[in-house]
Chain A
């Protein structure tokens, strides 16, 4: 297996006159979880469906396991596993039966029973598919994607519509898959999901990748400084706060300081408070999260495209 599972360069796609992908490029290395993170309509599903072989691209180079998906046949599809955005299953079969059915499609399938256990449906094995909950149905989708023992897995919004408990369970399953050595391309519009699961993330907005890197890199590259917050101590006026920090005082008495050097800033602030014997109620230091970065980037991109469209 090559060190690169998926290569995409200059990928363009239009539906009619509307161009939805304006030259997307990224690489998924073998064995890593790569997330395409973006709002609805950003072009994530179009990208994934081109890689799965469902859609044709207008321009660009695409290689999945060395194949061009638009021309690849059964041999290629035997090596990939697909979880589509919406579940698609035979409602009248049992979990065991539908996994058996799909296992038969592949040249070297995994043991259906093992796959059912892996996704946590052992208790539902003999249940008809139509009796499953939404979360269980999604896990069945994952089982069907896994049963062919694929090298690359495509998970298109695998947890959309889940309650928090089901989402956490799904994350466990995806982490297990990663430990099996699968390369995984995941799309999501949940920042937390990308942050928790992905080795690397590309943020997609309006058909372009606006940022790419590990979750930590994306956060580090953020222009926003660390935020220090506390409540204005009683009897202290805004103009009595230490002058070395750029602070803003809200009407409710909360103070926010933006610090590019948070260690020094905290030292100065806490020193100031200790000297005066003051408590700093509600003191918190917050590094920007991937969510902050994401919101900023998607906001910027939306503004840019609005300006471009005049």
Chain B
């Protein structure tokens, strides 16, 4: 098989493993949808004056898309890779002729496909239930943001896996890294409610910038094509840092 065929072969089984695991389907796909419904229910008819009298639901759709993509990439990879490393599956796979690049491509492909599905699902629900317009005009910007963000958060997923000592620590450690950032970056709480000093702090990390890039695409006030190159550059820089750390520290053998 060629490398492409082999990647598709691996991807096909990664997909089966993903969709058959109730925890991965719930936490990666359904939880973001649940968050959208909860936030929309709580803040339903509010408008955000500071953001040009924006509908709250219009704010939350790109916010939850951000959450969903980060879950499908960094969080989902960190958990599944740690589990597979600790039960020896990564080591076993290393003992086959499968090139490690193909194995990684299969997993990353899985994360990207789930990201695309989540993005489509959240956007469609936003449109159907809350009448939040799908930003067709900004579709190229949405796709570029998705590509840069998914790739970067995948790299960060491999990097954080290297720091996770055991299967039990995988979910707590990724949550410890991400949950505060969701709050501080305006993903859970509208940014108009967050002190500017806090936003400055959140701006050091990639979640805030990734959200800003998606937000621009959904924001009716955006003029032009909606590409947020500055924000995407910060996300990509974090991705690059993750890649360097992953190449240096990622291990295939169990640590426990």
- Point out residues on A near B: beta carbons under 8 Å: 52-54, 74-75, 77-78, 80, 82, 84, 86-90, 92-93, 97-98, 101-102, 104-107, 144, 148
Contact = CB atoms under 8 A, between A and B. Distances in A.
A80 to B, nearest CB: 8
Given A84-B91, A88-B89, A105 B17 contact: no
Contacts of A77: 95-97
Contacts of A75: 97
A105 B17 CA distance: 17
B24 to A, nearest CB: 10
B253 interface: yes
Nearest to A145: B95
B97 A54 contact: no
A54 B94 CA distance: 8
A144 B93 CA distance: 10
Contact of B1 (A80, A84, A92, A104): A104
Contacts of B9: 101, 104
B99 interface: yes
Contact of B16 (A86, A97, A105, A144): A97
Contacts of B96: 77, 102, 105-106, 148
Interface of B: 1, 6, 9-10, 13, 16-17, 20-21, 87-89, 91-92, 94-99, 253
Given A52-B95, A54-B94, A97-B16, A90 B1 contact: no
Contacts of A106: 96-97
Which of B1, B97, B99, B253 is most buried by chain A, counting CB atoms within 10 A of its CB? B97
Given A88-B92, A97-B13, A105-B96, 14 more contacts: A54-B91, A54-B94, A54-B95, A74-B98, A84-B92, A89-B92, A90-B89, A92-B16, A92-B20, A92-B21, A105-B6, A105-B97, A105-B98, A148-B96
B104 to A, nearest CB: 14
Contacts, number: 61
B100 to A, nearest CB: 10
30 contacts: A52-B95, A54-B253, A74-B98, A75-B97, A77-B95, A80-B95, A82-B95, A84-B91, A84-B92, A84-B95, A86-B88, A88-B87, A88-B88, A88-B89, A90-B17, A90-B89, A92-B16, A92-B17, A92-B21, A93-B13, A97-B16, A98-B13, A101-B9, A101-B10, A104-B6, A104-B9, A105-B97, A106-B96, A107-B97, A148-B97
Nearest to B253: A54
Contacts of A144: 92
A82 B88 CA distance: 12
Nearest to B1: A104
B92 A82 contact: yes
A74 B21 CA distance: 31
B135 to A, nearest CB: 36
Given A86-B88, A88-B87, A92-B21, A53 B95 contact: yes
A77 B13 CA distance: 21
Among B10, B16, B92, the most chain A Cβ lie within 10 Å of the Cβ of B92
A65 B253 CA distance: 25
A77 B93 CA distance: 10
A80 B16 CA distance: 27
Contacts of B10: 101, 104
Contacts of A87: 88
Contacts of A98: 13
In the A-B complex, the 9 residue pairs with the smallest Cβ-Cβ separation, listed nearest first, are A88-B88, A74-B97, A88-B92, A78-B97, A92-B20, A82-B95, A105-B98, A105-B96, A104-B9
B97 A90 contact: no
Contacts of B6: 104-105
B88 to A, nearest CB: 3
Nearest to A128: B20
Contacts of B98: 74, 105
A150 to B, nearest CB: 10
B99 A74 contact: yes
Q: Which residue of A52, A77, A84, A92 has the most chain B CB atoms within 10 A of its CB atom?
A: A92
